[in-house]
Structure 1
């Protein structure tokens, strides 16, 4: 039985939801954070190996979210992974991405390590988050009526982070959940033109898909302070989407959770207030 789960990235898009859903299931989430101020939090830094021991005390499973400020994920995550396996943590669940295969860059290397070394492991490979339309895309939607991308007509099966969290919780607490990767998607693949039409209907203001070249998008990301190499990697993911890399849907969310994944129209309606007013930046 799983009684305590270490949740890295516990204040992020999926981590916070995983913690909430674990609590609802009667499982204690131990939320790893640099600045632990609440009883359920524990001080943790990927680069501070000394913090790992306390974070792992009494832990039965771990939800792993890679650090977002670097790309050498296996290098920085390996000490925690090795310690967790050595002390017999029952299940390791990694948040990766549908665009990153085992052995690929960033989380792909961690995926490969878990497959080779962990007794029980699950890799969650979701498509792009619906939450992006109320976070990173929101300023340009409100201030310019634009969603910028280099995806052209490419389609993406956007997924609600709450659905990812629901799958993660099942993987964390179910003692017979099998090792392997799970490709997670929403129920429909949509182009950014179609997304813009749906936001227009909800926001009651015109929103368009404003198309950029890969080079223009990389420069846009770099202008937000993203390192040049990482900005180029992100922009090239859009290029892959334009050739159909994300144009698929799976039934994993329904099969694992017993309910259909959220539709984008329902997500946007629930976040209608986000599109009111203007934002700076």
Structure 2
């Protein structure tokens, strides 16, 4: 790894992957600007270890200058829930390049190719903006079954996981492994300059997930299969109809086999295998029981 004195700007530093990227960079002795709307310190990272909280808000361009000052690379989390993230991200990225950032690592999704909807437009533009870049395209997070995600909430409420994915299989991946790949892409002497599909070691159906959670937690967890329309309408009760239709459509593509794959990205770039869902569930047992 190189030893640049500049900062790595981590946008979304209090989020699922951003907090882990920040912690891993700090543990490796990197100087980090941990950007969030609150500019609050990240757990485990203090000014002593080179981490500086900084305010950043995609909806407030006046926050961009301060966040970019002294940064030569950036980890990008798109604005959550935005139907058109490119509208705000591309002006920021052009400003970042002018400010001296030469490397950008973007969090996207395995379900969204370059040029696809939403963040796919940013993915497509990134190589034309930076000489060093990477786009992370992780599969569905294992963390979807813990914390505040809808699946976690229904597991706690009534022991169910509701999807329109049918028998489709997904290469669920631990956010810790995504962060490890991000840190590699941010810190190696040469950036990957490609997109990286990131999965766990197995493609699992939601029936498999339910069985593992049942075994680990001692509670009966079941997978309730919904139609696309049922899933869309259920989601639309809590979010805009267009976004609900997109999410339900992702379940439909899972049912059609689009996510039934695994990759060697974690092993190849970090030198260790990705964590299995069984190991993840056992590690998170306290959360799963809560």
TM-score bin, normalised by smaller chain: over 0.9
Aligned counterpart, 1:134? 146
Moved more, 88-97 or 151-160: 88-97
Separation in 2, partners of 1:143, 1:45: 33
- Report if aligned partners of 1:2, 1:173 keep a CA contact under 8 Å in 2: no
Separation in 2, partners of 1:178, 1:12: 24
1:274 CA drift (Å) = 1.8
Could you list the per-position Cα deviations for residues 162-219 of structure 1 after superposition, in whole angstroms to 9, with x for gaps in the alignment? 0000000011111212301001000000000011000000010111110111111112
Which runs of 5 or more residues in structure 1 are unaligned?
none
Aligned counterpart, 2:44? none
Is 1:236 matched with 2:249? yes
What secondary structure does 2:96 align onto? helix
Could you list the per-position Cα deviations for residues 224-270 of structure 1 after superposition, in whole angstroms to 9, with x for gaps in the alignment? x2111001100000000001000000001000000000000000000
1:276 CA drift (Å) = 2.2
Aligned counterpart, 2:279? 266
Number of aligned residues = 276
- Report if aligned partners of 1:2, 1:61 keep a CA contact under 8 Å in 2: no
1:69 CA drift (Å) = 3.0
Aligned counterpart, 1:76? 88
TM-score after normalising by structure 1? 0.95
Separation in 2, partners of 1:87, 1:30: 15
Is 1:22 matched with 2:34? no
Is 1:188 matched with 2:190? no
What secondary structure does 1:60 align onto? strand
Separation in 2, partners of 1:195, 1:69: 26
TM-score after normalising by structure 2? 0.92
1:47 CA drift (Å) = 2.2
Aligned counterpart, 1:96? 108
Which 4+ stretches in 1 moved above 6 angstroms? Answer: none
